[in-house]
Structure 1
């Protein structure tokens, strides 16, 4: 049986042993789940899009069991604190689900290198179109995310979803 802390270790291993930011970790696991990670974690909608309290707890467990360490840094721009997660233990092969280690690595490294706002928008677009079933997900994400969708970020998020074969449905012309 796959333990939730092993999922956290597997995602960090797949990312090369490190991932920066709680939002990035949440969105990476959400999108990897959509593609076959089979984490068993439940997600709900939160301020930054799909969010899993289970994943937060799994991360705490992974730290407690010595699989992961979390370091806190401060952004130079505004002093806000962010997390850097580092792998300390080895993940169990079954923790990669149907993805397998190679595919998980490709995905996690892609997500680790993607702008975190673009990753947040991609996960949110997927959530709105796939889970909440918004036909006009574009208007809804603009309403929920405001300025975050500007500057080409929404387009990059949709491109990322296309790259993952998770393209949202076309928005109806009447919407």
Structure 2
């Protein structure tokens, strides 16, 4: 049980601060889909793949003081920022995590918007379909996003890049 918590803390030790709950959800899902052994279960939800387990785990890590959650009020919503605390770092050092090096993959994801990561994660969720079927499915389940041909191309390129990175 605590190994999964430690893996999330290890994620924050590699990426630093993550802005947005959606971005966090999508980053963990995409990393998991590209071979990083996170164990959270995902279901399809409003914004693509979503893990209730990850949400609960984050709540626990925040309550324990291992992850700091900062709220920033925007004009019409609240933006959340997450980062590892010193207590979280101390806790993490008690674990010997058997995790591959995914620093390069995480860095690629950190540079992308939540909207783009939502597209990539949704495409990966339907990865059992062929390319055309994936794009049609995404357009069907996310019509309001109005993803462009260029965005789909960039998403496929990112998926390929993540497969190649070690």
Aligned to 2:134: 137
Q: After the TM superposition, which residues 4-153 of structure 1 pair with which residues of structure 2 at under 5 Å, given as runs? A: 4-15=4-15, 17-75=16-74, 78-88=75-85, 89-90=88-89, 91=92, 92-94=95-97, 97=99, 99=100, 103-129=101-127, 133-135=128-130, 136-148=133-145, 149-150=147-148, 152-153=150-151
Q: Is the 8 A contact 2:69 2:80 kept in 1?
A: yes
CA shift in 2, pair 1:79/1:161, >3 Å: same
C-alpha distance in structure 2 between counterparts of 1:145 and 1:152, whole Å: 16
C-alpha distance in structure 2 between counterparts of 1:121 and 1:93, whole Å: 33
C-alpha distance in structure 1 between counterparts of 2:105 and 2:25, whole Å: 14
After TM superposition, the score normalised by the length of structure 1 is 0.79
Q: Is the 8 A contact 2:42 2:52 kept in 1?
A: yes
Where do 5+ consecutive residues of structure 1 fail to align?
Answer: 167-175
C-alpha distance in structure 2 between counterparts of 1:105 and 1:93, whole Å: 17
Deviation at 1:109, TM superposition (A): 2.2
Moved over 4 A (4+): none
Deviation at 1:2, TM superposition (A): 4.8
Deviation at 1:8, TM superposition (A): 2.0
After TM superposition, the score normalised by the length of structure 2 is 0.83
Deviation at 1:26, TM superposition (A): 0.6
Where do 5+ consecutive residues of structure 2 fail to align?
Answer: none
C-alpha distance in structure 1 between counterparts of 2:44 and 2:35, whole Å: 20
